[in-house]
Amino acid sequence: MGISGKVVVITGASSGIGRATAKLLAERGAFVVLGARRGDVLAEVVGEIAAAGGRAAHEVTDVRKRGDLDALVALAIERGGKLDVMINNAGIGPISRFDALRVEDWDAMIDVNLRGTLYGIAAALPVFQRQKSGHFINIVSTAGLKILPTMGVYAATKNAVRTVSEALRQEAGPHLRVTEISPGMIATDFASSMTDPAVKEAMQKRIAHVAISPLSIARGIAYAIEQPDDVDVGSIVIRPTAQD
């Protein structure tokens, strides 16, 4: 029970929800192992955690590469002696209308949002099975709960992860926990991956108008982790009160 002493891997940890979660969990006593593509930014986050008295390590990680996820989990075990929580957070959202035919963006979302989560599961599941304990936290989205124009492929990838999470929960048995968390509009650099200028501008305005802090999602993640081992928080939706 609790967070202190747990070893937690977080993908997409260099910014936004991943960064906020890393800092909050480290503050509460977890050893956090951070993965993302930007090594310099990861090092900065680790430095901030260490300066605040926390423990962290990092590994440059591209979730599109299965070997990178294996290496990230291996680092957690090497440095922490175990793995308690795997947070599959890395995601991108270059959204657009279907008739824009941005097929490369569709492929990228499938590779990062869905395949990256599957690779995270593949890396951590054998460890959890050996330990007879472990917790997957998969970050999905309210975009999959209310389908809107331009969000089709993005929502599809997130709902695919939702399906994966529920099937994994049912297969996991009595010793593993699986939580899906659906953030709404969060103040992150989500729009940075968008390649459609009009959609990007509209999203940036929307985020500026209604978004809440990524710390709100970090607190939800912490809540799921800190429950007793026999309590599985299956699904959490966290969104701004101003979001329709």
Rg of the chain in Å (alpha carbons)? 17
Known catalytic membership, residue 223: no
pLDDT tens, residue by residue, 160-202 = 999 999 999 999 999 999 999 999 989 887 777 788 888 888 8
Q: Which domains does the chain have, with CATH numbers?
A: 7-238 (3.40.50.720)
pLDDT tens, residue by residue, 127-154 = 999 999 999 999 999 999 999 999 999 9
Out of 31, 106, 128, 154, which one is annotated catalytic? 154
Q: Kindly report the pTM of this predicted structure.
A: 0.94
Segments of the chain scoring below 50 in pLDDT:
none
**pLDDT at 1 (0 to 100):** 65
**pLDDT at 64 (0 to 100):** 98
Contacts of residues 108-111 at CB distance under 8 Å and 24 or more positions apart, as own/partner, are 108/193, 109/153, 109/154, 109/157, 110/153, 110/157, 111/64
Quickly tell me which residue has 């108008």 as its tokens: 209
